[in-house]
Structure 1
Amino acid sequence: MAAKTTSPSSQPTLKTYLTWTTIAPLIALVLLAITWGSYDLGIVPVVLVAIALAGAVLAAVHHAEVVAHRVGEPYGSLVLAVAVTIIEVALIVTLMISGGSETSTLARDTVFAAVMITINGIVGISLLTGSLRHGLVAFNAEGTGAALATVTALAVMTMVVPTFTTSEPGPEFSTPQLVFAAISSLALYAMFVSTQTRRHRDFFLPVSPDGRPLKADEHAEPPTNRETITSLVLLLVSLVAVVGLAKVESPAIEDAVAAAGFPQSFVGVVIALLVLLPETIAAVNAARRDRIQISLNLGLGSAMASIGLTVPAIAIASIWLDGPLNLGLGPTQMVLLALTVVVSVLTVVPGRATRLQGGVHLVLLAAFVFLAINP
C-alpha cells in the first residue's frame, strides 16, 4: 500500500504567515512599546504611529472576520465587541487611577461617546450602506429589540439615575448605589449574552426581507483550528495596539483640538472614534454583504459591553481612586440619549429599514459631535 502523501500546498509555510495582516499588528505593537509614555513626539513619529494605527485597525478587522467565519454568528460579533471593550476598559481604568481627581468624568464621557458612536454611528452607517447597495435591509426585530432594551436599561441606570440621586452631592452614586449599579450591569449583560448565544441564538442571525434565515456565507472554506487560533491571537494583539497607539496619539490630538478651539473633552470623542474603528469597518463590510443583523449585533453589542463591563470595572477601581466619580449625564446629553432611544425603537420595530433610517441615525451622531464641539 502506498504511503499517504500530503500536498505541499496544504502545509503552512513561512510565506503563509508573512502577510501584511500578520506583520502590521506586530510592527504596531513594537512601535507602541517604543513610544509608550512619550509625551513630546515629533512630527515623523506621530505620522508613523498614525500609519501603524491604521494598519492595526485593518488587521483587526481581517482577523475578526476569520474568527467569525470559524465560530459563526452571533459568536463572531461577540468576540470582537468584547475584546475591544475589555481593552478599552483597561485603558480607562489605568488613566483614572493615574490621573487623580481630574479624571472624575472620564468614564462617563468615554462610555457615553461609545454609546452614541455605536448606536447612531455604526448602526446608521450600516443601514445606509446596506440600503444603498440592496434597496431594503432586513433584520430580526426580536433579537435587535432585546439588545436595544438592554442597552437602554444599562444607559439609564448608570448614566441618568446618578444625576437625580441625593445620597451624594453632584451627579455621582454613593458606594452602595455604585455597587448595585455594577452588579445590575453585569447581570443584565450576562443574561443578554446567554440569550444571544444559547436559547434564542436564532434571533440574532441574518434574515431575508421576508423573514427567512439566510445561509451562512459560503464564499470560502472555514479556516482551520490553527488559522483560527492564530487569528484570535493576532486580533488581540491588533486591538491592544489600536487602543495603545490611540493613547500615544492623544497628546497630538489634544494639541490639534486646542489649536482648533474645541473643548478639551472632545479629545475623548476622537479617541473613542479611533478605538471603535475595527467594529465600524467590520459592520460596514457585513452590511455590504446584506448581513445587516451582524452589523446591528456589532453596534448594539459594543454599546452594551461598553457599559456592562466599564461600570463594574470602575466600581472596583474606585477603591483606589481619589476624588469624586461623576457618572451622571448633563441635560443636553440626556436629551440626545432619549432621542436616540426613541429613534432606535422606531427603527427596530418594523424589522426592515431603508436609507432614511440610516440617515436619521447619522444626523443624530452629527448632532452629538457638533454639541461636543459647541456645548
Structure 2
Amino acid sequence: MSDASELARRLAREAEAVCRHYLSNGRRQGRYWLVGDIGNTPGRSLFVRLHTSSKGPAGKWTDAATGEHGDLLDIVAATCGLHSFREVAEEARRFLKLPRWQREPTIDLQAAQGPRDSKAAHRLFAMAQPLSGTLGEVYLRGRGIDPLVSTDALRFHPRCYYRPDDTTQVETWPALIAAVTNVNGRITGIHRTWLDPDGYDDRRLGKAPIDTPRRAMGDLLGNAVRFGNVDDVLAAGEGIETMLSLRTVLPSMPMAAALSANHLAALLWPASLRRLYVAVDADPAGHAAAKALAARAVEAGVDAIALSSRLKDFNDDLRAFGATSLREALSGQLLPDDAARFLDVTLA
C-alpha cells in the first residue's frame, strides 16, 4: 500500500474536517462540501463528497466548471501552495495529528491565492477554440456586436461544464469563454456565458435556458476582461456585452469589463493611464460603482469621464438604435481629441 493511498484514505475518513480547514470559503450542503474551486475561492463549482456512497468514495472532488477531479491530497497541495509529495505528505500528517478543536483554517488564504487560482482558468481558456465560425460568433452578432473587436479575450467551448444550483448534477452547454486578466495581461480567472445551442433568439438574447447562464471563477477583484492594450486612455464598465457594444463603434479604444458593479468600483489600471471613460449602467448599483471608480481615478490624478446610455446599458442602445446612432451619441460624450482618435469613421 502506497503512502499516498494511505494518507488519502485517512484524510477521507475526516473529509468534512479537511474541507472546513482547507476549503474554509465553502459550506456543507447535504452530503457534499461546495466551494468555488480548488484554490478555496468562494463559489459553488467544486464539490467534495463527504461520505462514501454508491456514487463514489468519500474525499473525491470534481470541479463542474472545468471537469478537474481528484482527492483530498490535491486540495491540501493546492490550498497550501505545495509542489512536492514530501511537502504534501508532511502537511497531511500534521493535520491528522491535530486535535479536532484545532482543525480550523490556519493558513494565510490570501497569500495562498495567485497562480494556483488561475490554473483552472488557464486550462479552460486553452481548451476553448477561436470564435470565428462558432455559436459564440452567432451570439455576439445577434446582439449587434462585431466579433472582430473581441478576438484576444474571447473564445468558444462547445461543451462547457455547468452545474445547476443546489445539485451535484453536471450538464454541458456551449459557452462563450472570456479571460479575466490583471493589468499585466496574466489570466487570473474566467467568465462563462452558456449559450442556447439552437442559436440566437430575442427572448433569451441567445443565452442557454438555464437558471444562471453567466458565471465567473478565479481572482476577479481589480481584474477584468480586457480588450486592447492600454496606454493613456481606457473605457471601463460592468458587462462584456456592454463594453463590446462600445468597442464596436470605438474599435481602437482599449476597454475593460469588470463583470459586476462591485468589481467595477475596484478596477485596477496601469500607471500610464491619463483618462478613464466610465460606462454607467442605468441602475442604482451601476451609478454607485461608476461614482466610486471615478473618485478613485481622480484621486490618482486620472481624468474620469462618464459615458451614459439612453437605455439600461450600451448593448440595449446598440440593439435598439443601431451602430450609427450609438456612434453619434458617443461623439458628443467623448473629448474632441478622443472622438477624432477612436470613433470608427466607417460608420458615418
Q: Which has the higher contact order (CA 8 A, sep 6+)?
A: 1
TM-score (norm 1): 0.25
* Structure with the largest fraction of helix: 1
- Look at both structures and tell me which one has the larger radius of gyration over its CA atoms: 2
